[in-house]
Amino acid sequence: MSLDTHELNLIRQTLAGDQEAFGALVLVYERPLLTYIYSILRDWECTRDVVQETLTAAYYALPRWKPPELNIAELTQTTSVDEKCHIQIHPLSSWLYRIATNKALDFLKKQKRLEHISNRLSVNMQISDILPEEGYLVKELLVEALHLLSEEDALCLVLRFCCDESYGEIAQKINSTTEAVRKRIARGLITLRSAYVTLKDEEGLL
């Protein structure tokens, strides 16, 4: 198991001021980010804008980026020795997807277009007590509650329930294991519902 050395070299070159190196990183991640953000926004023009914002934010935040920790203990429980030797971690993947998730959620809230993500989350949280007159406020509260989760847990929930990705696909994106992703999603749903109930109570909707 190791970090992708080519990607690490591109990161180092970017930090040294090499614009072409960052362009190479963009080529690696731009298309996957477009697919991911579109699954949340359902609008290609807005998706391109949010991806551009994500990449711009990543460029300026890169000096504060830290390489991901390799969780050897987790992988020992779920992979064989041969598999571990061939695992390559993409250093920027989890970090970039967290930035993209936050940008997409902020966009949805500003544009008052929360239907897709809030509807999917409410189904998986088994929320069935939403009254018609509560309408948009409930959708806002769900997304607000999502912001209260850890970035990794929120990302896993969005990837699973809004993008219909498998545990394995999510694990690959966040440099983790399928078992760790399962635990994050289970914990995230519990925390999300608790945060939602608290916010709803504060708004006087309970």
Q: How confident is the model over 48-104, as pLDDT tens digits?
A: 999 999 999 999 999 999 876 654 444 444 444 443 444 456 778 889 998 998 898
User: What confidence category does residue 175 fall into, taking pLDDT thresholds of 50, 70 and 90?
Assistant: confident
Cα(30)–Cα(94) distance, integer angstroms: 14
| Average pLDDT of the residues in 151-180 | 86
pTM over 0.75: no
The C-alpha atoms of residue 35 and residue 168 are separated, in whole angstroms, by 17
Q: What is the mean pLDDT of residues 5-19?
A: 92
Angle, helices 115-124/135-147, rounded to nearest 10 degrees: 80
Q: In the chain, where are the structural domains located?
A: 2-202
Query: How far, in Å, CA of 194 to CA of 145, rounded?
Result: 9
> How far from 145 is each of 71, 96, 121, CA to CA, in Å?
28, 21, 11
CA distance 166 to 113: 25
Read off the amino acid at residue 202. E
Closest CA to 74 of 1, 4, 160, 5: 1
Q: How many residues does the chain have?
A: 206
**Which residues, 6 or more positions from 94, have their beta carbon under 8 angstroms from its beta carbon?**
68, 152, 155, 173, 174, 175, 176
One-letter amino acid of 118: S
